[in-house]
Homo-oligomer: A and B are copies of this chain.
Amino acid sequence: MLSKLRELLIGKTLKTEELAGEKLNVFWGLPILASDAVSSVAYAGEEILYVLIGVLGLMSYKYMFYAALCIVILLFILVFSYRQTIDSYPNGGGSYIVAKDNLGTIPGLTAGASLTIDYILTVAVSICAGTAAITSAMPSLLQHKVAVAITMLVILTIGNLRGTKESSKLFGVPTYLFIFSCGVLIVTGIVRHFIFGYSPAPLYPIPKAIGDITLFLFLRAFASGCTALSGVEAVSNGIPNFKEPSQKTAKSVLGLLACLVLFIFGGLSFLATIYHPVPVTNVTVFAQIAQQVFGKNIMYYIMQITTAVILVMAANTAYAGLPLLLSLMAQDGFAPRQFSQRGKRLSFSNGIIVLAVAAGVLIILFKGDTHLLLPLYAVGVFLSFTLSQFGMFLKWHRSKALGWKHKSFINGLGATVTLITVTLIGITKFLHGAWIVFIVIPLLVYFMLKIKNHYNKVVEQIKLSNNQRPNIGMKTNNDQHVIILLGTLNKSFLKSLNCANSLSQNVVAFHVSTDTETTEKLKKKWKEYNAGIPLIIEHSAYRDVVGPLMNFIESEDRASKHGETVTVVLSQFVITKWWHNLLHNQTGYFIKSMLYKNRNVAVLTIPYIIKE
């Protein structure tokens, strides 16, 4: 039942060999990775205006356009900087790898932790913003905001569990639709204004200016808009996801991505200077522009729907990025091993599930509100950019390879610009929530080091050298201690007894008496049956089975003075219907976990199948 449902939702299990077929070309890779940057126009522009409009009034639109241009310029610097990273790291040059290779473990883990947080926030923020696009068009859904957001999260998670390539096709079409609608919006908006002289009154009153532009205000606006750039990391981290030649494909995707952002973010910011949208609670700024340009007709609704969908796709960028990052950290032993295993559909399903759960918790905690989540956002990604670019800078300096001066200049520029940006974001957003990130990152790094430490200890303790030899063959007297834990005398016991007899000639039955009546009955039956092995009965005042059993094993062990392994036989009912498990004591599991703590005990479980 359950496995059929899973197959319906995420598809048939794929062979490991099918991995190569799951890779992305430029055409499908672009939408999956560009959606994050492109879609952020839906909220980044609004965030910039939100900072400015209370102070500058009508002047805000001009500075909003400048801030958007600065962000696009920053993006182009990053693109050039990252093209060099892609060339140097063909197996995926995410910030984690680059920083770890060139700066050391702690900077690498800091980059990894920063990105982890930011990917989770990308999902939460994008889905909340997508919900806002929907509720702008359908205000009746406003009260079910969180439910709408969680539904989108679930659909997205299922899509990603199906695997990278299918999800890119599934998710690529609406990205192109959004890009196309944005094009139509920008062209229509410009043509109607400049050719037909259309300039409608703003939909909402623009607040009066109460001050002039200051550097700090402009920087705050700029920092608020920087949330757009995490897609860059996803491209350079995800090189193994691209079709061969994967480095070239990745570089093309990165270049196209920057051009798209230039066109759409620039174009829409320009439209804002004409149509004067105002940040209000229920209708997004982007929706206001669309309403002004098109009127509230079919194009307006198409715009809102494609916006919602592309924002969900932006969340999808993180679904491509975080599981891959976690798998890299897991391979190095800094994250639980399970993250490095591919699921039924060859996606890193554990990473996908962890991402979905974490984002879901954030959405519920912050009640689906983009404004509350945004201050936490972008610190992580710019911190990782800085570490990565600084790492590249050092790499060129150390290698002194051909053209190292030119290359180190580009990466040095990237590092400087991103360092300035992360400082700006950290300062301007600190009190609004960024402090949380500054606590969580060191905590994550600490846990990553603890995890590595544990794995190191395990490897050390289980390492086998060639001169540690096995005991060859059986001992001649076959007196391996075997103890059958006996509850009642039944067929399940007989099966255990037969199995034990075939393994050793030193088998005893052991019964823990918690109730005299039952024990007397057992004694009588045992006498009648005559199983041919001794029965030992211990009374347990505290209704505890493990204690007396452990005492007996230890006394046996002492008697034999061998210190060799004692085998305990437990029979276990195997039940066909899952709910029948509720009808049987699960003490077997408890007994086993207690016994395992004793180095010299092996547990032989004999299943007994109950037919229905």
**A interface with B by C-beta (< 8 Å):** 13-17, 336-338, 341-342, 344, 451, 454-455, 457-458, 461-464, 466, 468, 470-475, 478, 480, 489-495, 497-499, 501-505, 514-515, 528-529, 531-532, 541-544, 564-565, 567, 572-574, 580, 582-585, 592, 595-599, 601-612
Contacts and interface: CB of A to CB of B under 8 A. Distances in A.
A358 to B, nearest CB: 15
Contact of A491 (B468, B584, B605): B468
B451 A463 contact: no
Given A463-B491, A528-B466, A604-B603, A454 B501 contact: no
Contact of A607 (B457, B472, B573, B596): B596
Contact of A582 (B336, B466, B489, B541): B336
A505 to B, nearest CB: 5
Contacts of A451: 583
A532 B472 contact: yes
Nearest to A608: B462
Contacts of A472: 501, 532
The 3 closest A-B CB pairs, nearest first, are A596-B607, A462-B490, A15-B541
Contacts of A16: 514-515, 541-543
B602 A605 contact: yes
A585 B457 CA distance: 17
Contact of A573 (B458, B504, B543): B458
Nearest to A480: B502
Contacts of A501: 470-474
A17 B540 CA distance: 11
A551 to B, nearest CB: 17
A125 to B, nearest CB: 27
Give the most central of A458, A515, A532, A608: most B CB within 10 Å.
A458
A497 B474 CA distance: 11
A338 B494 CA distance: 25
Contacts of A344: 542
Contacts of A495: 565
Contacts of A580: 454
Nearest to A533: B470
B605 A603 contact: yes
27 contacts: A13-B542, A13-B544, A16-B542, A336-B582, A336-B583, A337-B584, A458-B610, A461-B491, A461-B611, A462-B491, A462-B492, A462-B610, A464-B489, A468-B494, A470-B494, A470-B501, A470-B532, A499-B565, A499-B567, A502-B564, A596-B605, A596-B609, A597-B607, A597-B609, A603-B604, A604-B604, A605-B605
A1 to B, nearest CB: 16
Contacts of A573: 458
Contacts of A612: 457
A468 to B, nearest CB: 6
Given A572-B596, A574-B596, A505 B608 contact: no
Nearest to A606: B602
Contacts of A494: 464, 468, 470
B480 A498 contact: no
Contact of A455 (B468, B543, B583): B583
A9 B580 CA distance: 32
A532 B471 CA distance: 10
A598 B502 CA distance: 19
Nearest to A497: B470
B585 A505 contact: no
A406 to B, nearest CB: 38
Given A499-B565, A604-B567, A342 B585 contact: no
Nearest to A580: B454
Given A497-B470, A504-B503, A603-B605, A337 B462 contact: no
Nearest to A330: B583
A45 to B, nearest CB: 39
A601 B584 CA distance: 21
A519 to B, nearest CB: 12
Given A451-B583, A541-B16, A543-B16, A602 B528 contact: no
Given A471-B501, A473-B501, A529 B583 contact: no
A592 B473 CA distance: 26
